[in-house]
Chain A
């Protein structure tokens, strides 16, 4: 029994890394007994069902955030506190503020309705550790009523060192720190001020204190055995090159995952960066920075900068079903057993997916080619190609080569199919968002978008409808290589793509 468990973990660990994503250029062998070089099995055991940390689990498990901590102790130039914290949430949106009591009731209600819900996070707006009473009260209520739910929190790190013991005592095993710099000279352009020791501190001194506290907090978390993820916002011209250094600094202090997110700034958000015209990175700029850091540690590419009070699988939002009003009326019955049974079924499905992909990879192993392509996939989750082109509000992008398929990010788009209107304007934005892809995999697609995509050089593929994503794209890639050999296709450089400004909005 025990042994079987271990092999599962290792196999899952191998999958998490994405077979063939090894950065040393060699071929990774799937299910190898070593697991990912930079992650121990205990760590993987902790993260494998965490939708924010495992790029694979986010197809199957759900997280929710509650906004109980609106106060903040620093100011970021990408944040306008009239709205949500831009680092973890979707900017330009106001989350519903909840009391700890309301929040815990909401969590229980959601968890009883959505058995995949395994993670509760407290993130923005504001800094959870600038509101320690509210944050820890919420954790206390939830851990008492629903001990199987994992707790996590996100912080800017300023007061983190003061709370590591409390975090540990609540069994919080995931903490996210937003670290945008390790050099105060860079930091002064990101943080106009911090509130520290009863004073407002500005300029380079503010950034110096912040980075010292962040590094200390990270070291303390590592020492306490608490998993730590680092988020960085990529701000072209300010910290883009510097983030490679940040990556090194956080890895050497034990962060196990680094998530680089694009700056989202639009004038209407009223942030300093939005107003002074600071642009965000393009899709290729973001990807090449993530690639540059990947040799160093696990990169998280599936972060959707979801809003703080979102409910659902990453990229999906069911919060409208769980407004405070509705929740306070709900009779909540929390059934741990029922949840466990459901999660077992999900596990089986995951194993099936691993097997299918491994089989496909074996066949590919004989081939070798330096050709790599990018493809876009429309999916609703479960790791399958199961979304209609017109209903997709985002596409997952995979890079495929003879060393396998690697998830490299997702692209948000406006719904192409809005019940018949707006189609003319939406299609070009969809094409711009996946312009670097040679194909788009969908469950179904209409005749008109099919023609326009083809004209733009993006092949619509629906023959793998409802099949597993990675298995299908690898299969497609094999055929693609054949088509190159036969001269049917001449590979071209697809160029760059747009990152949609304005945050993820589920329809």
Chain B
């Protein structure tokens, strides 16, 4: 799986962008989006998903169930 940003809730504050260890977050059409190919759910880096922890609007950075669960590379 990957995280995604609910764009209707995103304030475009940009707080999440520099926190992502995988540089998966970028600005697109006035809000921020996550590249699911790059997002590792922060596994291998931090205990908490950084975008979730820093986002000022609750339930804006959420798990995207349309992707399989990320497997940490052994």
Interface residues of A (CB under 8 A from B): 70-73, 75, 81-82, 97, 125-126, 130-131, 133, 195, 198-200
Contacts and interface: CB of A to CB of B under 8 A. Distances in A.
3 smallest beta-carbon distances between A and B, as pairs: A71-B15, A200-B53, A81-B56
A66 B54 CA distance: 23
A131 B14 contact: yes
Interface in B27-73: 46-48, 50, 52-54, 56-57
If over half of B's interface residues share one DSSP class (helix, strand or loop), that class is named, otherwise mixed; here it is loop
The binding surface of chain A is classed by DSSP as: loop
B1 interface: no
Contacts of B12: 70, 97
A198 B14 contact: no
Contacts of B56: 72, 75, 81
Contacts of A82: 11, 57
B20 to A, nearest CB: 11
Given A130-B15, A195-B54, A199-B47, 8 more contacts: A70-B12, A71-B15, A72-B56, A73-B15, A73-B54, A131-B14, A195-B53, A198-B19
A133 B17 CA distance: 13
B23 to A, nearest CB: 14
B11 A198 contact: no
Given A198-B46, A198-B48, A199-B47, A81 B53 contact: no
B13 A72 contact: yes
Contacts of A71: 13-15, 17-18, 54
A73 B55 CA distance: 9
Contacts of A131: 14
A281 to B, nearest CB: 26
Contacts of A126: 13, 15
A73 B12 CA distance: 14
B11 A199 contact: no
A200 B28 CA distance: 26
Contacts of B11: 70, 81-82
Contact of B13 (A125, A133, A198, A200): A125
A82 B58 CA distance: 12
Given A198-B48, A199-B48, A70 B53 contact: no
A199 B13 contact: no
Contacts of B48: 198-200
27 contacts: A70-B13, A71-B14, A72-B15, A72-B56, A73-B15, A75-B56, A81-B11, A81-B56, A81-B57, A82-B11, A82-B57, A97-B12, A125-B13, A126-B15, A131-B14, A195-B15, A195-B54, A198-B46, A198-B47, A198-B50, A198-B53, A199-B46, A199-B47, A199-B53, A200-B48, A200-B52, A200-B53
Contact of A200 (B14, B17, B54): B54
Contacts of A70: 11-15
Nearest to A195: B54
Nearest to A71: B15
A195 B48 CA distance: 11
